[in-house]
Each structure stands twice: as structure tokens, then as C-alpha cells.
Chains A and B, each alone.
Chain A
Amino acid sequence: MRPSNVTLTAPGPSDNPPVPERPRHTHHTSPRPLRARAARSLPSIFMVGPALAAIVAFILIPVVVAGRLSLTDWDGFSDNSKFVGLDNYVQLFHDPDVASAAYVTLVIAVVGTVACNVLGLGLAVMLNGQGRVKAMLRGLFFYPHVLGAVIIGFLWSAILSSEGAVNTLLTAAHRSKIPFLSDPQWALAAVVFVVIWSTFGVNVVLYLAGLQTIPESLLEAARIDGASRWQTFRQVVLPMLAPTVTINVVLVLVQLLRVYDLVLAMTDGGPAGHTQTYAYLVLSESFLNGKIGYASAQSIVLMVVIAVLAVVIVALRQRSEKAVEL
């Protein structure tokens, strides 16, 4: 056992400088024969190598390939493709289909992220703690995640179709039917609803995890000070949850920006492309129509947007968290 363990517990801060950590690593820098050093790091290379090779082969190289394809007009099968420079990117910013898909995606992402986080946090606060009913409800909100988006899409499309269960109920109540899937605005609203329905359960779980990290003593102190439930939530719980909020916002946003299977099964992008998301456009329109070059440019833009958003959100949240601490 290292002596540092003993000195670290000693109360006097002056006589235990943080040296014990150092000596362990000095042999790395000491001059040694190169071969011996290589032999020492061989097991490490052997342990990291396969995972790194997989990442390079199936993630890094494809991203580079996508970047290269995005500068060509390749259709996917002909032998010669032309290098077109940034033409695909220029075309993308003038394409009405891209604009419409970006709008649909933005609506889903913004409304969905807000709703999933509000619902997730609210329900987590209500379901925090022990109890059979609470445990069952946690499972109930989470179960869509094990079904799969394709199945959820087909299921809700059957329920919301013009002869589906909801419209049958409306007819029975002598109301007029609602064109959930055939009217452009209703269809988008329906997709947003189903996206939220199938997503927020994971936020409930993540917020519950966050709530469990708040020390009981803090909540008790607030109670003793006579804080109301809302005051405790606003002034104790919410600031403590700040990092959890960041994780939830980034995760849901990144996920909702690439909604594809659900739309494919629920509306197939319809009516007339009004629920066509950006990811749907990339895969179902551009890719399958043999516009590989153009689809690659579209997908690169999606990747950049997601990366920029994620970095900006994390940076903003870190700044505001620091502000709270000061």
C-alpha cells in the first residue's frame, strides 16, 4: 500500500505535499531502451487497437467518404462521377424541399424538446420515491422505448386514420371527424404528439436519476426554513438539477433532429410532404433516388448542425451553471 493513503487522512495540511502521486509515473519519462518501452505498451495497444480500428473503419472513414461524395454528382452506380465542388451545398440552400423538411424538423425538435423536458421533470418530481404505483408508472411511461419507432408509427397511424379509433369516438359523440393524417397541419401536430408520446419516458428516468443525487439534508433544511413545495423546487431542486437538464436537452434534441422511422411508418412524409423530416429527405428522397452526392451533402449539413448545437448548448449551460455558483 502506498504511504499516501495514510498521509491523506492526516489532518495537518502542511506536511503532506501532493508528491506521492508523482513517483509512480516518473518511469515513463526516464530514458529507457526504446524496445523495452514498446514491449511495455504492447498490451495497451492490443487492448485499444480493435476498438479504435472499428471506429476508424465504420465511423471516421465513412464520414470522410461522405464528405468526399458530397462534392460529386455521383448517382450510386455509374462509373464516372464528376467533381462539382460545393455545388451540392449551394443547391441545398435553395431547395424548397430542404427548406420544408428543415421547418418540419425544427418544429418537431423545438416543441418536442420543450415538452419532453417539462413532462419529464414534472413527472419525475411526482414519481420520485418508493411505492408500487410509482414504480409501475415509471415503467408505463418508458415502455414505448422497447417497441421501436416503426411499430409506434404504424400503431398511431391506425389509431388516427380517418376510420381509426379516435375518429370513431368523435363520430359517436356526434362531432365531425378530424383529418389527423390527411390535413397538413393536423398531420404535423399528430407526428409531434407521437414523437413526444414515445420519447418523454426516457427523460422521466433521467430526471429521476438526477433527483436521487440531491442530498436529503438540503430538502429537509428548506422544509425547516418553511419553504413551500414550489419554493423548494424552484430554489433547491432546480439549481441542483442543472447538469441533468443539460444532458436531457442535448440528448432529446439530438435524437429529434434525426426522426425518420416514425415518420416513415406513420405518414410516409405525407400528406404531400408536409411531415417530411430532414432525415426522411436524406434517406427516402435523395438516397433512394440515386442522388448520392446530394444526399451526402445533406447529411453532412445535418451532422454539422447537430455538432454545433450540442457544443453551443453545453457551453451555454456551463456558463449559466458557473453564474449560479458565483
Chain B
Amino acid sequence: MNRNAGSRVGSVMLGLFALVMLAPLYLVIVNAFKPESAIRQRPFSADPGVLSTDYLRSALSSPDYNIIKAFGVTVLFVVLVNALSLALAGPAAYVIARGTRPWHKGMLLVFLAGLFIPGQVLVIPVIYVLRFTGLMGTIPGFVMYEATLTLPLSMFLFVGYIKSIPRELDEAAQIDGAGRLRTFWQVIFPLMRPVVVTAVVLHTIGVWTDFVNPQIVLGPTSGLYTVMTGVYSAIGLHTTDLSVVYPTLLLAIAPVLVFFVIMQRKIVGGLTAGATKG
């Protein structure tokens, strides 16, 4: 077998893949600065004569939705869901990972079963639970529901990781007089950094890109929209007007992409580490 030829074919294939991945991104960036006719006639060109920031500016001041507000709301949700998720999953995973009784195993199974329950099954009846508790259409209701959806994955990652931390550490802390909760937060939790990073990365992507839950649980009457639900309602009205579609998409993805490029190694690396641990 000719290894050189093989690797050359490989490089060409990789290049083609890279092109298919990048082309849509290029089109969003270039066409966000062009009038409708130029987008339709020469979508790939970046002719300085027609480029203008007008379309971006009108997308920024769109009466349909306020992109800045959407980003603020989404970031707030990401932070709240991650904080609540850690506060709930951390101590519970610790007790379950250290537990030796059958009910500990049983509880882990209850948590993991959540991995196989699709969001579409839950979102209809969850509305009735939220109405019953008076939390429907509110930020606390949405954050509590969304954080609960992160628990199965967190438990899966955390329990496995805590089991790899020696028990001697817990015992030493307890001899020094620390209670279980303190032992967890002050001794075990700091050691869980890699797996916590993985969980936070996954939950952040999950909350950020979620569409169904904010759309249905927050509802149109709350006046709250995330980047996803905001873009959906803004573009839904103008699907055929590409000089609205492209700038709106660019504004929604540009900050996320910048963040991703800066954090790329951490994000992909964290996932790789998380996958090997789990």
C-alpha cells in the first residue's frame, strides 16, 4: 500500500470537508452586508461596491425583537441553570457515589432514566405541573425545569468521577470534624474541576441552543425570548427577504462564534476528557 498517496487523498478529503463546513459561515458573513438583489445574483462575491452595514443596523434595531436583550436573557438563563444544576447534582452525586446500599443504586437509575426521556414527551405535561405550582411563564419556573433536565447527564458524569477519588480524603476530612456537606464542597468538589468543566460546557451549549422549552414554557405572553426563540420569530416573518435573514443570523451567531474560537481548545478538550471519564 502506498502510504504517501493514501495520505494525499486524505488531505484532499479533509480539505473538502473543511470547505463544506465553512461555506455556510462565509455566506452568512458576506451576505449580511449585501442588498437582496446582490445576495440572489452573486451570493459568493464580496464586491466592495455593494457592501454596506445598513442591513446589520436595521437588524439591530428590528422592531420584531431586540437582539441585545435576547443575548442578555439567554446569558442569564445559562448562568442560573448552571448554578442550580451544580448545587443540585453535586451533593446528590456525592452521596450516591459513596453510598453502598441498594437504594443508592436505585436512585442513580432513577436519575439516569432521564437520559432516555425526550424533551418532547415532557414539555406538554410539564406545563400542567408549572401551572399547578404557579411557575408557568416565569423565570424561576423555566430555570428550575431546564436545570432538572441537566441532572441526568450531570449525575452520569459526576458519580463516575467521584468514584475515582479516594475515600481516604473523605475520612480525613471527617476526622477533622467536617460534616458530609462540608466535606463535599471543600474537599471533593475542588477535585472535580475537569468533570465540572465538561458538564458546564455541555449544559451551556444545551441551554443556549434550546428552542422548544423557552418557546413553550416561557410562552409568548411573558415577553421573554432567548436568542433562539427571538431569531425564530424575527425570521419567521421574513423568511424570503434574505437581506433580513442573513444579518439577523450573523448577529445571533457572531458573539457565540467568537467565544467558541477563543475557548475552542477548552470546549473540545473538555468534552474529550469528559467522554473518557464517563
Question: What residues make up the interface of A, taking CB atoms closer than 8 Å to B?
Answer: 1-2, 25, 28, 43-44, 46-48, 50-52, 54-55, 57-63, 65-66, 69, 123, 126, 135, 137-151, 154-159, 163-165, 168-169, 197, 202, 205-206, 208-210, 212-213, 228-230, 247, 254, 257-258, 260-261, 264-265, 279, 282-283, 287, 292, 295-296, 299-300, 302-303, 306-307, 310
Tell whether, in the assembled complex, residue A302 and residue B6 are in contact, meaning their CB atoms are under 8 Å apart: no
Number of B residues, CB within 8 Å of A: 94
Interface residues of B in 50-97 (CB under 8 A from A): 87-89, 91-92, 94-96
Given contacts A155-B27, A258-B120, A303-B116, could you give 14 more A-B pairs where the C-beta distance is less than 8 Å? A47-B91, A47-B95, A57-B148, A58-B129, A65-B128, A147-B256, A149-B209, A163-B40, A168-B41, A209-B271, A209-B276, A264-B232, A279-B118, A302-B121
Q: A47-B92, A168-B42 are in contact. Are A52 and B107 (CB under 8 A)?
A: yes
* Least distance between A201 CB and chain B CB atoms (Å): 8
Count of chain A to chain B residue pairs whose CB atoms are closer than 8 Å in the complex: 242
Q: Give the residue of B24, B120, B155 whose beta carbon is less than 8 angstroms from that of A282.
A: B120
* Least distance between A221 CB and chain B CB atoms (Å): 19
Tell whether, in the assembled complex, residue A149 and residue B211 are in contact, meaning their CB atoms are under 8 Å apart: yes
A112→B259 CA distance, assembly (Å): 28
Determine the chain B residues whose CB is within 8 A of the CB of A46 once the complex forms.
181
Determine the chain A residues whose CB is within 8 A of the CB of B272 once the complex forms.
205, 208-209, 212
B116 to chain A: closest residue by CB:
A307
Q: Give the residue of B1, B155, B231 whose beta carbon is less than 8 angstroms from that of A228.
A: B1
Tell whether, in the assembled complex, residue A158 and residue B120 are in contact, meaning their CB atoms are under 8 Å apart: no
Q: Give the residue of B14, B117, B209, B246 whose beta carbon is less than 8 angstroms from that of A147.
A: B209
Determine the chain B residues whose CB is within 8 A of the CB of A257 once the complex forms.
118
Question: What residues make up the interface of B, taking CB atoms closer than 8 Å to A?
Answer: 1, 3, 6, 10, 14, 17-18, 20-22, 24-25, 27-28, 40-44, 87-89, 91-92, 94-96, 99-101, 107, 110-111, 114-126, 128-129, 133, 144-145, 147-149, 151, 155, 168, 179-181, 184, 205, 208-209, 211-212, 216, 227-228, 231-232, 235, 239, 242, 245-246, 249, 252-253, 256-257, 259-261, 264-265, 267-268, 271-276
22 cross-chain CB contacts under 8 A: A46-B181, A47-B95, A54-B144, A55-B151, A61-B129, A62-B126, A62-B128, A62-B129, A63-B121, A63-B122, A65-B128, A65-B129, A137-B18, A145-B205, A146-B267, A148-B209, A154-B239, A157-B239, A168-B42, A205-B271, A210-B276, A283-B120
Tell whether, in the assembled complex, residue B268 and residue A258 are in contact, meaning their CB atoms are under 8 Å apart: no
Tell whether, in the assembled complex, residue B124 and residue A66 are in contact, meaning their CB atoms are under 8 Å apart: yes
Of B89, B228, B265, B268, most buried by chain A (CB within 10 Å of CB) is B268
Q: A135-B265, A155-B28, A206-B275 are in contact. Are A296 and B124 (CB under 8 A)?
A: yes
* Least distance between A254 CB and chain B CB atoms (Å): 7
Tell whether, in the assembled complex, residue B88 and residue A62 are in contact, meaning their CB atoms are under 8 Å apart: no
Determine the chain A residues whose CB is within 8 A of the CB of B256 once the complex forms.
146-147
9 cross-chain pairs, A with B, having the tightest CB-CB distances, nearest first: A148-B209, A47-B91, A209-B275, A65-B125, A51-B92, A165-B43, A62-B125, A58-B148, A139-B264
Tell whether, in the assembled complex, residue A164 and residue B43 are in contact, meaning their CB atoms are under 8 Å apart: yes
Determine the chain B residues whose CB is within 8 A of the CB of A140 once the complex forms.
18, 21-22
A206→B42 CA distance, assembly (Å): 39
A299 to chain B: closest residue by CB:
B121
Tell whether, in the assembled complex, residue B257 and residue A260 are in contact, meaning their CB atoms are under 8 Å apart: no
Q: A126-B10, A209-B273 are in contact. Are A150 and B228 (CB under 8 A)?
A: yes
A139→B21 CA distance, assembly (Å): 11
Tell whether, in the assembled complex, residue B180 and residue A44 are in contact, meaning their CB atoms are under 8 Å apart: yes
Q: A51-B88, A154-B231, A205-B271 are in contact. Are A141 and B121 (CB under 8 A)?
A: no
Determine the chain B residues whose CB is within 8 A of the CB of A310 once the complex forms.
116
Determine the chain A residues whose CB is within 8 A of the CB of B205 once the complex forms.
145-146
A65 to chain B: closest residue by CB:
B125
Determine the chain A residues whose CB is within 8 A of the CB of B128 once the complex forms.
62, 65
